[in-house]
């Protein structure tokens, strides 16, 4: 999150996330309490049926992108916005807002259920590859985006290290849309490695449209790399499949080009080297943290494979220290200022965010030393910052990859969770009706003991 329209607007809506924080904490409590043993079996589905569900994922995703475009073009002053923004942004108040929100939620629920069916049915490789290619193509061609962050990324690429203290001079006419949304452009909250990656990905493209599409392509590379790395880690095909045809991942990291997955990919790669080359794993973890500083903590669990416990403990401290030192050496006070919108202003949110942040940090440390990993932790992980964004849901991926059940839970939940967490699709009836209902459903689910994996 870059502080859309300023920190004051952000702080005014922080109370929203108290509902999510409270729900996730209750789900955690339900999972920690002794649970009833389950007699239900995990039924396997026919491969042909699983292939059909892959097709349903693709079709529902196409409709979802069409609704996103409607939410962008149904805003006041659309002709002006469409001329200014090469990829218009979905707004919070489209015509027929409740119908759009309801449709997005239904589609997301269908997608999560479809992923569950793909997971149980073990879809064919041909169907998964075709489905993943279709999701990538739809995302790349999408005529609108849900978030303006990609415009800020383009500004980061143009400014380089100056992105930590953007000059007051506006961008040239070709890039005027950046200033139209981000006015003034705030200091970047990302690490120095991200500035280099963004420049490398976009430097050859002379137009803003080209740079935005290049950022989408970068997200597509990260999307594919995630699935390939999960396969390289020895995870079963059905888990790789629900990562490869995951519309939540495609929507956030390709369609809207968020950079989180770019930072998570080297952390997942670190898990490949933790056992046989711990220093390489630490450097990969550091690379992820130099995209987004919080990844220095969220990447801890991948170091569980380091055999030498003293070395592991050393790396758990050394990587965050190095990440902080390098990030502040590059960004200084500008980076510190950029992090302000992630802090709370409400006493209630200060308590809740502090509690969630402490629990998540402890959970990451426990996982790093081989302790129990909980499904509910992946619900808490995106809530650790004061301002929660839908695309933060992938922050739990490094934690989940060592437990098939936890990773399957995260990937299957992703489409629905991403829409529930998207501020532009929040309404009173979703916040006070749908979110508590989903939390209650998960509390009941956590009360049933399942065999660990």
Phi and psi of 449, rounded to 5°?
-75, 135
Are the CB atoms for 358 and 377 separated by under 8 Å?
no
Specify the pLDDT at position 328.
95
Specify the pLDDT at position 3.
44
What is the rounded CA–CA span in Å between residue 317 and residue 323?
10
Residue 165 burial (CB count, 10 A): 16
390's tokens: 């839908």
What is the rounded CA–CA span in Å between residue 362 and residue 390?
23
DSSP state of 241: H
Separation in Å, CA 238 to CA 55, 104, 118, 373, 441: 16, 26, 7, 20, 24
Phi and psi of 269, rounded to 5°?
-60, -30
Closest CA to 390 of 253, 263, 240: 253
Per-residue DSSP letters for 403-445?
-HHHHHHHHHHHHHHHHHH-GGG--HHIIIIIHHHHHHHHHHH
What is the rounded CA–CA span in Å between residue 352 and residue 346?
10
Are the CB atoms for 278 and 311 separated by under 8 Å?
yes
Specify the pLDDT at position 80.
46
Specify the pLDDT at position 5.
44
Specify the pLDDT at position 451.
41
Helices (H) and strands (E) in the chain, counts: 22, 2
182's tokens: 């981000």
Specify the pLDDT at position 78.
54
Burial of 41 (0-12, 13-18, 19+ CB in 10 A): exposed
pLDDT by position in tens, the chain (length 453): 554 444 444 455 677 888 999 999 999 999 998 866 655 555 555 666 899 999 999 999 999 999 999 988 887 655 445 456 788 888 776 778 899 999 999 999 999 999 999 999 989 999 999 999 999 999 999 999 999 999 999 999 999 999 999 998 888 888 888 988 887 888 999 999 999 999 999 999 999 999 999 999 999 999 999 999 999 999 999 999 999 999 999 999 999 999 999 999 999 999 999 999 999 999 999 999 999 999 999 999 999 999 999 999 999 999 999 999 999 999 998 898 888 766 666 677 788 889 999 999 999 999 999 999 999 999 999 999 888 899 999 999 999 999 999 999 999 999 999 999 998 899 999 999 999 999 999 999 887 755 444
């Amino acid at each position: 999150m870059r502080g859309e329209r300023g920190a004051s607007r952000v702080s005014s809506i922080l109370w929203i996330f108290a509902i999510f924080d409270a729900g996730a904490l209750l789900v955690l409590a339900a999972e920690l309490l002794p649970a009833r043993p389950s007699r239900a079996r995990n039924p396997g589905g026919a491969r042909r049926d699983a292939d059909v569900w892959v097709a349903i994922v693709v079709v529902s995703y196409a409709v979802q992108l069409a609704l996103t475009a409607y939410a962008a073009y149904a805003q006041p002053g659309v002709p002006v916005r469409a001329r200014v923004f090469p990829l218009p942004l979905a707004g919070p108040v489209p015509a027929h807002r409740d119908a759009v929100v309801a449709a997005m939620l239904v589609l997301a629920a269908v997608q999560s259920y479809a992923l569950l069916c793909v997971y149980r049915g073990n879809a064919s490789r041909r169907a998964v590859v075709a489905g993943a290619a279709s999701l990538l193509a739809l995302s790349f061609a999408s005529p609108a985006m849900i978030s303006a962050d990609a415009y800020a990324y383009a500004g980061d690429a143009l400014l380089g290290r100056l992105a930590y203290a953007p000059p007051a001079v506006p961008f040239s006419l070709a890039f005027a849309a950046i200033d139209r949304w981000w006015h003034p452009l705030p200091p970047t909250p990302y690490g120095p490695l991200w500035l280099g990656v963004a420049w490398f990905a976009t430097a050859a493209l002379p137009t803003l449209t080209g740079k935005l599409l290049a950022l989408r392509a970068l997200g597509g590379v990260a999307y594919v790399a995630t699935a390939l790395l999960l396969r390289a880690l020895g995870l079963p095909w059905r888990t790789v499949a629900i990562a490869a045809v995951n519309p939540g991942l495609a929507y956030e990291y390709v369609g809207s080009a968020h950079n989180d997955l770019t930072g998570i990919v080297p952390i997942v790669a670190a898990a490949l080297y933790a056992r046989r080359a711990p220093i390489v794993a630490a450097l990969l973890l550091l690379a992820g943290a130099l995209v987004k500083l919080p990844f220095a903590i969220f990447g801890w669990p991948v170091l569980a494979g380091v055999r030498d416990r003293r070395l592991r403990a050393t790396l758990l401290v050394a990587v965050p220290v190095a990440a902080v030192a390098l990030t502040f050496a590059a960004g200084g006070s500008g980076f510190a200022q950029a992090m302000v919108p992630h802090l709370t202003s409400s006493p209630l949110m200060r308590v809740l965010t502090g509690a969630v942040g402490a629990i998540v940090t402890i959970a990451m440390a426990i996982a790093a030393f081989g302790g129990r990993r909980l499904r509910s932790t992946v619900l808490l992980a995106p809530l650790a910052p004061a301002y929660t964004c839908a695309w933060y849901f992938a922050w739990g991926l490094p934690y989940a990859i060592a437990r098939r059940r936890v990773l399957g839970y995260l990937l299957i939940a992703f489409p629905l969770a991403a829409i529930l967490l998207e501020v532009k699709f929040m309404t009173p009836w979703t916040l006070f009706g749908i979110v508590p209902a989903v939390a209650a459903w998960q509390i009941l689910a956590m009360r049933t003991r399942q065999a660990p994996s």
